[in-house]
Amino acid sequence: MLSAYLVVSSMMLGQPSLEIHPPAVKLTGPTATQRVIVLRTEDKAIVGDATGRAEFFSANPKVAIIDENGVVKAVGDGETSISAAHDDMNVSIKVKVEKTRTPEPVSFVNHVIPILTKVGCNSGACHGALAGKGGMKLSLRGYDPDADHFVLTRQANARRVNRQEPARSLMLMKPTLALSHGGGLKLDVKSPEFRVLADWIAEGAYLTSPQRKQGESDPKLERIEAFPPRATLAKDDQLQIIVRAWYSDGHAEDVTRWARYSSTEDLVAGVDDQGAVKVGGHGEAAIAVLYANQVALVRIASPFENNVDPKVFAQSPRHNFIDPLVIKKLEALKIPPSPQCLDSEFIRRAYLDAIGRLPTPAEVAAFTKNPNRGKLVNALVERSEFVDYWTYKWADLLLISSRKLPQPAMRSFHHFVRQSVADNMPWDRFTREILTVRGNTLQNGQANYFMLHKDISDLTETTALTFMGMSITCARCHNHPLEKWTQDQYWGMANLFAQIAIKNGERAGEFSIQSASEGDVAHPRRGIAMPPTPLDGNSLPSPHRGRGAGGEGVIDRREYFADWLTSPDNPYFAKALVNRVWRNFMGRGLVEAEDDHRQTNPPSNGELLDALALDFVKNKYDVKHLVRTIMNSAAYQRSATPQAANKADDRFYSRYLIRRLPAEVVLDAYSDITKVPTAFTQVAVGSSGGNAATVDYPLGTRALQLPDTQLVSQFLDAFGRPERGQTCACERQQESSVTQALHLNNGQTLNDKLRNKKSRIEDWLTEKIDDDEAIRRIFLLALSRPPSERESAHFRKIMREDPQAARREVLEDLCWSVLTSREFLFNR
Amino acid sequence: MFRLDAQRPARFCDGLTRRDFLHAGAIPVLGLTLGHCFSLAGRASDGAYRPSLARPANSDVNCIMLFLVGGPSHIDTWDPKPAAPEEVRGPFRPTATNVPGMQIAEIFPRMARHADKYSLVRSVYHTATAVHDTGHQMMQTGRLFTGGIEHPHVGCTLGYVKGGRGEMPSHVLIPRPIGRTGGNLPHGHTAGYLGRQHDPFILNADPAVPDFQVPDLLPPSYIAPIRADRRQRLRDGVDAAMEAFENNTQSRQLDASFQLAYRLMSSPRARDAFNLNQESPAVRDRYGRTRFGQSCLLARRLIERGVRFVTVNMFETVFDEVTWDIHGSRPFTDIAQMSREVVPNFDRAYSALLEDLTERGLYSNTMVTALGEFGRTPKINPAGGRDHHPGVWTILMGGGPIRGGRIIGESDELGYRPKSRPVTSGEVAATLYRGLGLDIHRELPGPQNRPLPLVDFGVQAIRELF
């Protein structure tokens, strides 16, 4: 016991050493510099920034020198090394210096625009606004360098640059307030930014320097690196990030000063505009580093200050591949997992999450007698309510409703989804059937996807959101500010949907979706069509694009897109679906919001998301398999009760996250428990805002079986049923509102069910059951557990207070109080 | 962030500037109409707002927004064009008001006597699609909804920033949200990206019907107080997994909603606020016994009892109802119908509201704005009506810090487009925000936590109104 503890503690202390980042320095040009940082490591994990306390040395000051801040400066061509010493530890890295005799011109694209971006000149609030500002308009964050160059060098009588006297250029005088500037002081005359801009003007303010050979352009930015890629720090620690850009000619530049920084979790770790990180809390944060159109991340972990016995992690159950990955993360952050939940908790949770209904008391009794959780999971995914629940979910995702579709078309679309879920159609095939559909909208229900999204931008954006969980809307008008997507990529993707024809069908209200063999959509700024390209995939080769050349050799662009999307190598497709299903069960997506996958919004556990996606692909996109895998994990089966040490965690799955039940599930549960079904007899119709009677939904139709969200229900509206108007997980509202509370208290939905002469309460009156039995029964029905002795006593006492009270009313009040309790309204 | 209006001290109606006030320090409150409400003022979700009894009432301004659904014809109402050709000027003549030089159409005789209480902004315009829904979005939120972002109603933003006063909801919408008006787009009456918990409290009932009451506010007759009490106490008895629930924000929100519901149900003030039977028949008649008239009266009662913002929709739809949407043919309205029914209804209720607020000392800290989603085409169409025209129209603003008796901007000779000082919906929203005492540069957490300022960068309040 003692020796085990010693082993563990020495491991935790680890082997301290130092690292310098970047691990090698390359300096190109006479003025090149690179700042380095010195990091303390333990067992190769970075645990602190020692730059400020380290001493630096250069092995050969004739090649490179280094100052006390860690800035390495080029002196002469050659190779040398620099070293850092701190706390009796030593480390050194190689430095290569080249081209110190050939000055490089300042590049408009690579140097000027990033400075304008960093300083904020081309931000949406200033000259980057659609209408510009103060008579000058730049492209938002510099996505259109050619136009920006024209604006700066030609417009306003070319007064913005003065090549003879650079300091008299408007573009320097205004931001330095030498002349009045609506935007205020933006640039210091002594700053390196001013220097670079002035140099660029003095060199001639060229778009491409004449020093370049004919036809040669400036080196292109290829990638950026952020150092350190990850670090485990403690509260109040600080860390300087270093950003290095690599260009197509093989040279690198230190762009730390001009990158932009933001933290995904300011409360865990904040970052200033120079890349200095300060840890303020516990958990994980990702620092997004943006430079030009490139994104890099620095992951900061700040373990909780918990003293957790390592045995807690070692002994936490591992049911399948999910669990080691969850536990690994919890252990790194020192968050102890809660123990596993009770069987009675599990069965209620599993039913609600997988099939959207409560288990009956008989089902609970049978299960708790023979609690085989795996077997229960296998049985649940084969039930008809599983089809109801998941059809409803995908109908939300695909916006199936008579709001925009005529009733027959809406039904046809719904039928397609329902049949696919019933057949457990693999998700890749389901997706392909929708995206490549040909034929008429009443027979091939999925064709209505294209009726809902006739506008090409809407279709492009909805497709990205639905199947990749990714919003690319920003890139419609300008390069995405938080993502790598460019406007060119957007319109390349849009062009994949340019060859779709909608024709009238044979009957009224019927349409036919076909592929056309020609047609292109033009990039609105360039005025030409971009090669049809699925985002960062390969373009459809031009012989197959079908530009008016007829059908010969033309590849259907939708097929081409579907091939790319559903390919096992596609990095977005499987993750998007896996995350949606994961969130359904775990209460929070690995990526949250569930449809906000982007580089700057990284998953809380990337390894786990990768593993889930890989497993999903390996199992041929089998959604039921995915559901079973998640439900069988120990992570899903944990108790919802927080422990002192995991109370603050809401994203690493140390316990089951409780959440309010969806509107439809609550309404169906009220029907089941009272034995009084909900009547759906009115449907909101047309543009007049009126309701029409409908007989399409026989009494007993469950809310989760409705194909449409236009059926009138005050209850469903109050509890946040999505409208299915916009593809967004945010449409479904999970918040509680006063309207809900008033409706439960005084509204008709629940009160009428309780008062109904055929309700379950009537049975109880006939049976003449006593208070204890009534309390026991409603608890079992609604909460899937018997009441505690304390609860029984509480209810019994109040129920007996008033000897005059009508028995029926007392029973109604008993049921009401349990059916409006938070324990009933929440899954836990 | 720099502010262009930073040099201009905010002016209160009592003549003090904000700077004077700050220098004066803590002034004891005297004669505050709503003083008892302020002591209960809620905290903002971000805790930024600190209600203080030491602030004059005018620094905590309320607002009533009368939404004239359908889009009133500016030429036939508050921007008459007597010199225009017959097919433009329409059937009504201008009439003088109690403000020299301000003329409105003769069909508003009551309003004409109160022109010193409101100003006309005659150069509002928008450039979005000319359907009702876009105008509803822009006039209620200050922005057109694009990119899937639903912006919050001005009243919801106010509630988000300042919270409610005591048990009263911060923003109440009466009688019902705007329904279908053809465009099938959101109308902008919600809290949008701020989240459902900041949505207005929606009345969902017609205050003009004899047995009017708030749906679900009061227990149905079969739930006697003794039962209501029993239910609440029974409900408290389900107590498993306390820690799990107390550690969860959604669950705490559920508890808070039930508590607010109980407070509303049990608060005499809240119940009073919605009880129009407490108004004398004379007062009820003064507002007109129409849905809109009684809604205006209800709005006054709500403001009086601590609600910060009331939105009154004059109509729910523009189909098969006599509204401002005077296309001239069925299912819409024609000009004569409008002047017979819609105009007197508005003239009476609006004038009564301004008078009543003034008499009760509420008008000095309650803005009232009456606005539609667009104007109407200057040229009368073959059906004898006018069609949608977002090119220019007129809105009414007054109360609180807004000056009355002014005319802001003008339309051209034909009422076709703004001739001077064009005003956008963003500027209208900025004016309301400024009047309500909110910093228009304040940022709200938008979708994906993208910070969004109350109004777009560079948009300013209409300062001539202050």
**A696 has a pLDDT exceeding 60:** yes
In A274-415 the beta strands, taken as DSSP E runs, fall at 276-279, 283-291, 294-302
Residue A443's alpha-carbon distances to A413, A437, A617, A631, B63, in angstroms, are: 9, 11, 30, 36, 53
**B19 has a pLDDT exceeding 50:** no
End-to-end CA distance of chain B: 23
**B303 has a pLDDT exceeding 70:** yes
pLDDT of residue B202: 86
> Which range, of A115-124, A613-622, A739-748, B391-400, averages the lowest pLDDT?
A115-124
Residue B329's alpha-carbon distances to A689, A721, B68, B291, B375, in angstroms, are: 19, 37, 20, 24, 18
Q: Are A283 and A594 in contact (CB under 8 A)?
A: no
The model's confidence at residue A2, banded by pLDDT at 50, 70 and 90, is very low
A320-329 pLDDT tens trace: 999 999 999 9
Question: What's the mean per-residue pLDDT of chain A?
Answer: 92
**Mean pLDDT, rounded, for B353-366:** 96
Residue-range domain boundaries for chain B: 59-214+274-465
**Mean pLDDT, rounded, for A186-214:** 90
Q: To probe the interface with B, which of A822, A823, A826, A827 has the most B CB atoms within 10 Å?
A: A822
Q: Do B458 and A659 touch (CB under 8 A)?
A: no
Cβ-nearest to B257 among A657, A736, A814:
A736
**Mean pLDDT, rounded, for A426-433:** 98
Beta-carbon contacts of A312 under 8 Å, excluding residues fewer than 6 positions away, are A336, A337
B373-400 pLDDT tens trace: 999 999 998 888 999 999 999 999 999 9
> Tokens 């250029």 label which residue?
A169
The model's confidence at residue B252, banded by pLDDT at 50, 70 and 90, is confident
pLDDT of residue A6: 41
The model's confidence at residue B147, banded by pLDDT at 50, 70 and 90, is low
* Secondary structure (H, E, C), chain B: CCCCCCCCCCECCCCCEHHHHHHHCCCCCCCCCCHHHHCCECCCCCCCCCCCCCCCHHHCCEEEEEECCCCCCCCCCCCCCCCCCHHHHCCCCEEECCCCCCEEECCCHHHHCCHHHEEEEEEECCCCCCCHHHHHHHHHHCCCCCCCCCCCCHHHHHHHHHCCECCCCCEEEECCCCCCCCCCCCCCCCCHHHCHHHCCEECCCCCCCCCCCCCCCCCCCCCCHHHHHHHHHHHCCCCCCHHHHHCCHHHHHHHHHHHHHHHHHHCHHHHHHHCHHHCCHHHHHHHCCCHHHHHHHHHHHHHHCCCCEEEEECCCCCCCCCCCCCCCCCCCCCHHHHHHHHHHHHHHHHHHHHHHHHHCCCHHHEEEEEECCCEECCCCCCCCCCCEECCCEEEEEEECCECCCCEECEECCCCCCEEECCECHHHHHHHHHHHCCCCCCCEEECHHHCEEECCCCCCCCCHHHC
A370-424 pLDDT tens trace: 999 999 999 999 999 999 999 999 999 999 999 889 999 999 999 999 999 999 9
pLDDT of residue B18: 30
Tokens of A484: 């790598």
Query: Which chain A residues are Cβ-neighbours of B319 within 8 angstroms?
Result: 687-689
Q: If 0-12 CB within 10 Å is exposed, 13-18 middle and 19+ buried, where does residue B398 land?
A: buried
**B158 has a pLDDT exceeding 90:** yes
Q: Are B73 and B376 in contact (CB under 8 A)?
A: yes
Highest mean pLDDT range out of A139-153, A518-532, A807-821?
A807-821
The model's confidence at residue A359, banded by pLDDT at 50, 70 and 90, is very high
What does the radius of gyration of chain B's CA atoms come to, in whole angstroms? 22
Three-state DSSP class for A826?
strand
**B352 has a pLDDT exceeding 80:** yes
Q: How many CA atoms, within 13 angstroms, populate the side-chain half-sphere of residue A550?
A: 1
Q: Is B147 on the interface with A (CB under 8 A)?
A: yes
The model's confidence at residue A4, banded by pLDDT at 50, 70 and 90, is very low
Q: What is the DSSP string of A33-97?
A: EEE-EEEEEETTEEEEE-GGG-EEEES-TTTEEE-TT-EEEE-SSEEEEEEEEETTEEEEEEEEE
% of chain A surpassing 70 pLDDT: 96
- pTM, to two decimals: 0.80
A767-787 pLDDT tens trace: 999 999 999 999 999 999 999
pLDDT of residue B59: 67
What chain A residue is nearest to B447 in terms of C-alpha separation? Answer: A730
**Mean pLDDT, rounded, for B285-298:** 97
Tokens of A405: 């579709």
In A739-811 the beta strands, taken as DSSP E runs, fall at none
Residue A202's alpha-carbon distances to A114, A196, B211, B450, in angstroms, are: 18, 10, 81, 39
Which residues of A, range 346-375, sit inside 8 Å of B by Cβ?
A: none
pLDDT of residue A161: 93
Residue B252's alpha-carbon distances to A369, A742, B186, in angstroms, are: 34, 17, 29
**A499 has a pLDDT exceeding 90:** yes
Query: Which chain B residues are Cβ-neighbours of A729 within 8 angstroms?
Result: none
pLDDT of residue A241: 97
pLDDT of residue A1: 39
Q: To probe the interface with A, which of B189, B223, B238, B242 has the most A CB atoms within 10 Å?
A: B238
The model's confidence at residue A543, banded by pLDDT at 50, 70 and 90, is confident
Cβ-nearest to A129 among B215, B316, B457:
B457
pLDDT of residue A502: 94
Q: Please state, in angstroms and rounded to a whole number, the distance separating the CA atoms of residues B331 and B319.
A: 5
Cα–Cα nearest to A608, from A320, A312, A300, A335? A320
The model's confidence at residue B243, banded by pLDDT at 50, 70 and 90, is confident
% of chain A surpassing 90 pLDDT: 78
pLDDT of residue A507: 85
Q: What b/e sequence results for B66-104 when a residue is b if at least 16 CB atoms lie within 10 Å of its CB, and e otherwise?
A: bbbbbbbbbbbbbbbbeebeeebbbebebeebebeebbb
Query: Which chain B residues are Cβ-neighbours of A124 within 8 angstroms?
Result: 457
- Using the Cα atoms of residue A626, residue A627, residue A633 and residue A638 in order, give the sign of their dihedral: positive
Q: Do A745 and B196 touch (CB under 8 A)?
A: no
Which residues of B, range 444-463, sit inside 8 Å of A by Cβ?
A: 447-448, 457-458
A569-588 pLDDT tens trace: 999 999 999 999 999 999 99
Q: Are B311 and B140 in contact (CB under 8 A)?
A: yes
CATH number of this structure's domain B59-214+274-465, picked from the four choices 3.40.50.300, 1.20.1090.10, 3.30.360.10, 3.40.720.10: 3.40.720.10
A679-693 pLDDT tens trace: 999 999 855 557 899
The model's confidence at residue B347, banded by pLDDT at 50, 70 and 90, is very high
Reported for A789-796, long-range contacts at CB under 8 A and 24+ positions apart, including other chains, are A790/B239, A791/B237, A791/B238, A791/B239, A791/B240, A794/B234, A794/B236, A794/B237, A794/B239, A795/A771, A795/B234, A795/B237, A796/A771, A796/A772
Q: Do B215 and A783 touch (CB under 8 A)?
A: no
Q: Is B101 on the interface with A (CB under 8 A)?
A: no
ipTM: 0.84
Which residues of B, range 248-267, sit inside 8 Å of A by Cβ?
A: 248, 250-251, 253-258, 260-262, 264-265
**B43 has a pLDDT exceeding 70:** no
**B48 has a pLDDT exceeding 80:** no
Cα–Cα nearest to A584, from A509, A654, A665? A665
A82-105 pLDDT tens trace: 999 998 899 999 999 999 998 888
What chain A residue is nearest to B248 in terms of C-alpha separation? Answer: A658
Instruction: List residues bridging with A195 in a β-sheet.
Output: none
What chain B residue is nearest to A660 in terms of C-alpha separation? Answer: B250
Q: Is A601 on the interface with B (CB under 8 A)?
A: yes
**A547 has a pLDDT exceeding 80:** no
Q: Is B230 on the interface with A (CB under 8 A)?
A: yes
